[in-house]
Amino acid sequence: MAAIINQEIPEFSTEAFVNGEFKTITSEDVKGSWAVFMFYPHDFTFVCPTELEDMANHYQELKDLGVEVYSVSTDTHFVHKAWHDSSEAIGKVTFPMLGDGTGKITRGFNIMIEEDNAALRGTFIVDPDGLIKVAEIHDLGIGRSAKDVVRKVKAAQYVRDNDGEVCPAAWEQGQATLKPSLDLVGKI
């Protein structure tokens, strides 16, 4: 798998289910603000609704940070609507649910399981320039934490806004950061 950090997101145009409507969303629509792409294998499964519900519970916090969330599976926008209408957990989702029936977006992020036409659990944090700043990929049986995605977004935004500073392990907003220099070598 090739490294994709600081690579531009792939070009795409797809239909999404958003707040009770179908809407076309493109890679150009993503640029200009922060974004989280949350790939999952399929609708109407087991771990997936727990993850999307968890993200829905943190969505307003991400919106307050200027972040849009895009959930993506290889199902179509029609299937997303049916799932949204039939699942209490998915009924909480108000962020765009991108249909990727052709798998173009999933392949563009290099997380397609070809033999199953499904995505791995991939989370990507994208900056306003459309560059991938965080990439995390899980096996299908391992669910993610939206709370940790929020933490990573805050760290990525801090680093972008504070040239020359970096965030240490488990950094939380308000904690001390580091300014790499020769003075720190061997002292941490």
Report the catalytic residues: 48
Phi, psi for residue 123 in degrees, rounded to 5: -120, 130
| Residues 69-105 as b or e (16 or more Cβ within 10 Å = b) | bbbbbbbbbebbbbbbeebebbebbebbbbbbeeeeb
DSSP for 102-156? T-HHHHHTT-EEGGGTEE-EEEEEE-TTSBEEEEEEE-TT----HHHHHHHHHHH
Q: Residue 129: how many CB atoms within 10 A of its CB?
A: 12
